[in-house]
C-alpha cells in the first residue's frame, strides 16, 4: 500500500462515442422514413388528381 495518490485514467469516452453514433443513425433513419412517406403521399395525391381529371365530364 502506498500513501501517494495515484491518478487513475478512465476510458469513458468510448461509451459516449457509441451513444452518439447510434443517435445519429436513428436521426438519419427517421429523416429517410419521413422523406419516403412524403414521396408516397405526393404520388398518391397525384394519382388521385389524375383520376379526378379522367372522371371529369367535359362539355364542349
pTM exceeds cut of 0.85: no
**Given this model, what pLDDT does residue 26 score?**
82
Closest to 44 measured CA to CA, from 29, 56, 36, 31: 36
3-state SS assignment for residue 1: coil
What's the grid cell of residue 36?
419516403
For residue 57, the model assigns a pLDDT of: 80
Q: What is the pLDDT of residues 22-47, one digit of tens each?
A: 777 888 888 899 999 999 999 999 99
Amino acid at each position: 500500500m502506498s500513501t501517494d495518490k495515484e491518478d487513475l485514467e478512465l476510458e469513458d469516452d468510448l461509451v459516449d462515442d457509441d451513444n452518439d453514433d447510434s443517435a445519429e443513425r436513428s436521426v438519419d433513419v427517421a429523416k429517410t422514413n419521413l422523406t419516403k412517406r412524403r414521396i408516397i403521399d405526393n404520388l398518391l395525391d397525384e394519382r388521385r388528381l389524375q383520376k379526378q381529371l379522367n372522371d371529369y365530364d367535359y362539355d364542349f
